[in-house]
Amino acid sequence: MSDKILDVKGLSGGYGDITIVRDVNFSIGKGEVVCLAGRNGVGKTTLMKLLSGALAPGKGHICLNGKDLSGLNAFERQQKQISHGLQEQSVFSGLTVRDNLSLTGKWGKSSLVDRLLEAFPIIEKRYDVQAGKLSGGERKLVSFCRSVVEDGLMTLLDEPTEGVQPENIERMGEVILEQAKQGRSFIVAEQNLSLIEQIADACWMMDHGELKSLFPASPNLRERIVSELLI
Ligand SMILES: Nc1ncnc2c1ncn2[C@@H]1O[C@H](COP(=O)(O)OP(=O)(O)O)[C@@H](O)[C@H]1O
Ligand SMILES: [Mg+2]
């Protein structure tokens, strides 16, 4: 793989004394989109949090663009260009949609903001609505736009499509692919097999806190994922 952007070695961690993610090793190239699939509770969200610093890692190393981020907190990692769209509580419910987006410091006049508003016109219509009053799917769209507009080298999206309408899921996929073409890398924890088929260069299967198999993009990717989930 050329231009390795994220390199993770021996990453383990969890909650207090409970280890959830065990000795995870992988790397991701510049512009690569990797999906993370697996049954509920296998540790996808915990892995994402260990990567972004939302949870302090127990053990291991996380290098982004050659720099070791292991000792940095979530804010410092964000400065180093890891963006994280959380699965739960992905927006500030007491703030308007506009304020949620403005908090990134990047929701101004830009071709990326124009592209996101073109893909999801509902965002502009809901600008002055408190995020807590949105539907679950609309909140996910706001969270998606926030993570994308942060424009990080590495973007982590944790179940971005929960409750989102199919046409907007497809547009999320289009935006991810356009951004990846410009050299951004993505890890997307996802259950929606159509989105995985649309965007994945490869899909990691996770089980019991470990990365078990890596399936490259292929015409039978969906079948491979489903059969692995049934084991
Ligand atoms: N805050 C927490 N404290 C203790 N255990 C947790 C916490 N959050 C998640 N877990 C446990 O960690 C395991 C992995 O959860 P999670 O990473 O959310 O899985 P996934 O995202 O794959 O559904 C589960 O057994 C879950 O019960
Ligand atoms: Mg999860």
Any idea which residue has 């046409």 for tokens? 167
Is any ligand 1 atom within 6 A of the Cβ of residue 38?
Answer: yes
Structure tokens at 221: 């990717």
- Quick one: pLDDT at residue 144? 97
Q: What are the phi and psi torsion angles at 32 (to 5°)?
A: -90, 145
Could you give the 3-state DSSP secondary structure of residue 34? strand
- Residues 182 and 207: their CA atoms lie apart, in Å, by 32
CB atoms within 10 A of CB 168: 18
Assess contact for 65 and 40: CB atoms under 8 A. no
Is any ligand 1 atom within 6 A of the Cβ of residue 41?
Answer: yes
- Residues 85 and 149: their CA atoms lie apart, in Å, by 11
Whole-number Å distance, alpha carbon 172 to ligand 2 midpoint, is 19
Any idea which residue has 């296998």 for tokens? 42
- Quick one: pLDDT at residue 2? 56
CATH of the domain at 28: 3.40.50.300
Could you give the 3-state DSSP secondary structure of residue 8? strand
Closest ligand (CA of 206): 1
Give how far Cα 83 sits from Cα of 11, 125, 145, 184, Å: 19, 25, 11, 11
Whole-number Å distance, alpha carbon 187 to ligand 2 midpoint, is 13
Closest CA to 173 of 35, 57, 53, 52: 35
Domain count, the chain: 1
| Stated length of the chain | 231
Is any ligand 1 atom within 6 A of the Cβ of residue 57?
Answer: no
Write out the residue range of the structural domain in which residue 48 sits.
4-230
- From first to last of its 231 residues, the chain has per-residue pLDDT tens of 458 999 999 999 999 999 999 999 999 999 999 999 999 999 999 999 999 999 987 799 999 999 999 888 888 888 878 888 888 888 999 999 999 999 999 999 999 999 999 999 999 999 999 999 999 999 999 999 999 999 999 999 999 999 999 999 999 999 999 999 999 999 999 999 999 999 999 999 999 999 999 999 999 999 999 999 887
Pocket test for ligand 1, best of 11, 12, 15 (most atoms within 8 A of CB): 15
